[in-house]
Structure 1
Amino acid sequence: MIIREIEEKDNKPVEQLIRTCLIEFGANKPGTAWADPDLGNFYHVYRPEGSKYWVAENEGRIAAGCGIGPVPGFPHICELQKMYAYQEARGTGIAAELLRVALDFAKEHYEQCYLETFHNMTAANKFYLKHGFVPMDKPLSATEHFACDAWYIKML
């Protein structure tokens, strides 16, 4: 499996990855990435400085992805965004490698990394705790992902 920055040709496969995972966890509803108008346009969304999206590709197929982007109103905090993996990629170590790549990039631009997720994504919550993210009682700020019910932050 290789990790690389997103290319324009990856927009639709990444959207399919995210939608598949959201359906799996019952998060295909408003207030989640499901309703994100830029879901199929990540190549362009993650172009500005301080933003980047990576994909893990296995034999020409996108298996996982994640991004780093700014948190409006918090110039020293980034957000780990849209980190998803197909079932067959989970438990392979690719998520840890994607996270390492993302956090290495984040350290160049930010002091802390924030993320939002769902409690019912049990493995993901354990993964974030294992990698040094600290649970928060409430979201950092109001976002379009108002349905999320678990929030974490990590010093970089």
Structure 2
Amino acid sequence: MVTIRPIKQQDDASLARIIKHSLKSFGLNIPGTAYFDPELNNLSAYYAASPNRQYFVAVNEHGNVLGGNGIAEYGDEPGIAELQKLYLDKKAQGQHLSYQLLDAAVEFAKQTGYKKLYLETHHALTTAIHLYQEYGFKEIGHPLQTGEHSSMDRFFIMKL
């Protein structure tokens, strides 16, 4: 059985490992990706720094971290949140956990008062792109603003 819950400090190391391993497996351990985000090793502190942020973690019955995703404000764009860092451990893929994580993130974004959800991804992440499209995200063809993830080349938005 899998539980989706808010991040805890003890999840940080596992999540950093999952995210880095996933990006590296696609050759995306390069500047301009989450691989080099300064908060990557301390996600719990980053998401705890604002009530408008939250990171959700999928854990199995043994308490092992399987993956997660987050919601945070998107720059100065009013009413827009960014879906961030949706990654799963390779062993947890194919179990529809991404949908459960997205459900938790979208519900948080709605409750927090966001009106739209934005995300950036890379064309190599075809499974993720399919997931986002199936979930209701629409591709917009350009970033909303220039950000730190300059290697991302696919951009999506969804009205909440």
TM-score (norm 2): 0.95
- CA-to-aligned-CA distance 1:54-108 (integer Å, 9 cap, x gap): 1101222111100000001102000000000112211201110110010001012
Query: Counterpart in 2 of 1:100?
Result: 103
Please give the alpha-carbon distance, in whole angstroms, between the structure 2 residues aligned to 1:85 and 1:15.
Answer: 11
Query: Counterpart in 1 of 2:58?
Result: 56
- CA-to-aligned-CA distance 1:23-82 (integer Å, 9 cap, x gap): 111110100001101101111100111100011012221111000000011020000000
Where is the strand percentage greater, Structure 1 or Structure 2? Answer: 1
Query: Alpha-carbon deviation of 1:149?
Result: 0.7
Please give the alpha-carbon distance, in whole angstroms, between the structure 1 residues aligned to 2:155 and 2:89.
Answer: 22
Please give the alpha-carbon distance, in whole angstroms, between the structure 1 residues aligned to 2:34 and 2:157.
Answer: 19
Instruction: Say which of 104, 111, 116 aligns to 1:112.
Output: 116
Counterpart AA for 1:9: Q
Is 1:37–2:38 an aligned residue pair?
yes
Counterpart AA for 1:138: H
Query: Counterpart in 2 of 1:75?
Result: 78
Query: Counterpart in 2 of 1:154?
Result: 158
Q: Tell me the secondary structure at the aligned position of residue 41 of structure 2.
A: coil
Query: Counterpart in 1 of 2:17?
Result: 16
Q: Tell me the secondary structure at the aligned position of residue 46 of structure 1.
A: helix
Identity %: 38
Please give the alpha-carbon distance, in whole angstroms, between the structure 2 residues aligned to 1:25 and 1:61.
Answer: 24
Please give the alpha-carbon distance, in whole angstroms, between the structure 2 residues aligned to 1:117 and 1:143.
Answer: 12
Q: In angstroms, what is the RMSD of aligned CA positions? A: 0.8
